[in-house]
Amino acid sequence: MSSLKEICAGLPLDPLPPNRGRDPSIPHALVRTPNFTPAEERLALRNALRYFPPNLHATLATEFAQELRQYGHIYMYRFCPTLRMRAYPIDQYPCRTRQAASIMLMIMNNLDPAVAQFPQELVTYGGNGQVFSNWAQFWLVFHYLSTMTEEQTLVMYSGHPLGLFPSLPSSPRCVITNGMVIPNYSSREEYEKMFAMGITMYGQMTAGSYCYIGPQGIVHGTMLTVLNAGRRYLGSGDLRGCVFVTSGLGGMSGAQAKAAVIAGCVGVIAEVDEAPLKKRHEQGWLMEITSDLSHCIQRVREARRSKMALSLGYHGNIVDLWECLYQEYKKTGELLVDLGSDQTSLHNPFSGGYYPVQLTFRQANQLMNTDPERFKTLVHESLRRQVAAINKLSDAGMFFWDYGNAFLLEAQRAGAKVEKKGGGATEFKYPSYVQHIMGDIFSLGFGPFRWVCTSGDPADLAETDAIATAVLEEISSTVTERVRQQYSDNIRWICEAGKHKMVVGSQARILYSDQRGRVSIALAINQAIAKGRVSAPVVISRDHHDVSGTDSPFRETSNVYDGSAFCADMAVQNFVGDAFRGATWVALHNGGGVGWGEVMNGGFGLVLDGSEDAGQRAKLMLNWDVSNGVARRCWSGNANAYETIQRTMEDQRQLRVTMPNPVLEDQILDRALQG
């Protein structure tokens, strides 16, 4: 087994490691179909070989060509390390700076088999959310990080380490871009070819920015979504006896079962792939599994009647489940579902993100490669059936929302009845969860703030939980009632997080907080490190799915109605602003939860080491990281954001934001345009 020191020594070339190929004991990414011309295939192979000296080309070219033809991409399985991938304690990494060691820790956590969806293909979640494009890049990155000083920055081009470049101690230690493709060429078809050529990469959100912390990262957001859906649609935050039906238990969607139970309701989640079902069940995140629809309906009735919190995994297609629920309603008059959504990976609908109901799991995996056009037709038919059942249940009283996974967008493209009469470009028959539930929370400045204890010690995580709880409790007594509700939800979460065994991989935590809370928690943790109450540095970050990090017209910015939902200035400014205000690393991606070409998102990581400098960086950067998004949402006309940025300007005299002047009388517009 290799060691961390060996991994940092650079590509192992003399001798070459044995080619073990794919590990049959773990899940693997689906075969890709780039549809290369002979010239493109030749170019892809040439591109892969440039990582290696010419004397190895004859040996490697044959196996790389085989990988390309067999899997649709050159992963370089020969160079997959034998060392167990996990977040080792920070002092075990052979680095010259703590910042570099922190980045190594976060990368290895993203590739931990307990965390990653397809670890040998370097996919963290979402079916195609890559950390790197191939294993040669992994080895080079670790070598660069191990030698990096505080006057160098590692530059990453879509998985490829361009190299170490001179910079300032105040500069980021790593700058990452993924998928920066000229807009006219940012299509799915072009992406498949460019990824197979090894020249670009889909970083999703926190995969390509090295900040994923396992399904916990979305459990909390899902819990908040379900709670606030209950408040909005059902008139109560008490969800006992309420039934929430959805689909997907893979990467990001794997959190839904746990979140439903924490929210107190009955969560029924359909999943066609048995592997993630078993994984979530073994982790304790899924209470029961059944492949029998009759038994599923029986358990829903029992749990509903007794008002017990239950997470039930249905091993089967979500379309069958929706149609069965409608048939039960039609037969008995009993509506067994109160809330509904979907978290299949419809940003990637024809390459394993969605499985049509007409085929078994195995048949679908075969057909998507042997006859992709036929497969696409079946996906569209299946989406139309799914929407038809949802529409009928909605007419009966169920409340459905889009979970930002491009479900309604792809359903519309399939010809399903999801149009909203008189709606704008980002509006459908059903709202996205941002439009109705989480958008106002973002506009208050709340979003998914995270931290990772680099010691790997659960005691450090418990201490930071206590610090965050104390900070939020102190602040909550000084805020408005609307904001206090969000603080209350998050205090409840952080107090119970340990009980629910959220940690998968690194010793990490997430909570939703606004600007004041994030800054206060970061400074309090930094002070605890300085005093020795926390034994090692802490990395703070966030999901890109936040108030400021992402421009996504069908998700994060779907409630921006001034026509700018398709503009990406906010995400780019977020990335640039975080870089010069003190982030340890920054990332900017094309793509994310709703698909390639549909979104731009920026992320960061910042190391708290107990120093005064770290505290200043955190204060300056976190204030910008939130205010940037609140100011943009304010300018678009959001009332919550208007109030929030006004209060922030009162607290921060150096902050001056351009405020919108509303048109108070629509008749003025009418008269002018008629005239």
pLDDT digits (tens, 9 = 90+) for 135-164: 999 999 999 999 999 999 999 999 999 999
126 pLDDT above the threshold of 90: no
* H or E stretch at 372: helix 372-396
Supply 478's token pair: 């000084």
CB environment 312-340: b (16+ within 10 A), e (fewer): bbbbbbbbbbbbbbbebbeeeeeebbbbb
Please name the residues in contact with 675: beta carbons below 8 A apart, sequence gap of 6 or more: none
- pLDDT tens digits, 518-561: 999 999 999 999 999 999 999 999 998 899 999 999 888 988 99
Superfamily of domain 4-197: Urocanase superfamily (3.40.1770.10)
Neighbours of 305 (CB within 10 A): 9
Q: Which amino acid is at 20?
A: R
- Predicted pLDDT of residue 127: 84
The mean predicted confidence, pLDDT, of the chain is 93
Name the CATH superfamily for 439-505+507-651: Urocanase superfamily (3.40.1770.10)
Q: Which residue reads 């397809």 in tokens?
A: 118
pLDDT digits (tens, 9 = 90+) for 466-508: 999 999 999 998 888 889 988 998 898 888 878 777 888 999 9
Cis before residue 662, ω within 30 degrees of 0?
no
Q: What tens digit of pLDDT does each residue of 174-209 get? A: 999 999 999 999 988 899 999 999 999 999 999 999
pLDDT given at position 252: 63
- The CATH classification number of 221-342+349-418 equals 3.40.50.10730
* Mean local confidence (pLDDT), 16-25: 94
As annotated, the residues of the chain forming the CATH 3.40.50.10730 domain(s) are 221-342+349-418
- Provide CATH 3.40.1770.10 ranges for the chain: 4-197, 439-505+507-651
Alpha carbon distances (Å) from 537 to 168, 213, 581, 611: 21, 17, 19, 10
Helix and strand totals (H; E) in the chain: 23, 17
Q: What is the pLDDT of residue 141?
A: 98
Q: What is the spatial distance between Cα 360 and Cα 351, in angstroms, rounded to a whole number?
A: 15
> What pTM was estimated for this model as a whole?
0.89
Say which amino acid occupies 382: S
Give mean pLDDT, residues 164-173. Answer: 97
Helices (DSSP H) in 271-371: which residue ranges?
Answer: 274-282, 293-306, 318-332, 361-370
Per-position DSSP letters for 183-229, written without gaps between them: GGG-SHHHHHHHHHTTS----TTTTTTT----THHHHHHHHHHHHHH
Residue of 8, 448, 439, 404 lying closest to 213 (CA atoms)? 448
Name the residue among 634, 467, 479 with its Cα closest to residue 548.
634
Helix (H) or strand (E) holding 315: strand 310-315
Which residues lie across from 589 on neighbouring strands?
178, 601
pLDDT per residue as tens digits for the range 210-264: 999 987 878 888 888 898 899 999 999 899 999 999 998 876 677 888 889 988 9
pLDDT exceeding 90 applies to what percent of the chain?
79
Question: Could you tell me if 629 and 574 are in contact, meaning their C-beta atoms sit under 8 angstroms apart?
Answer: yes
Backbone angles phi, psi at 327, to 5 degrees: -60, -40
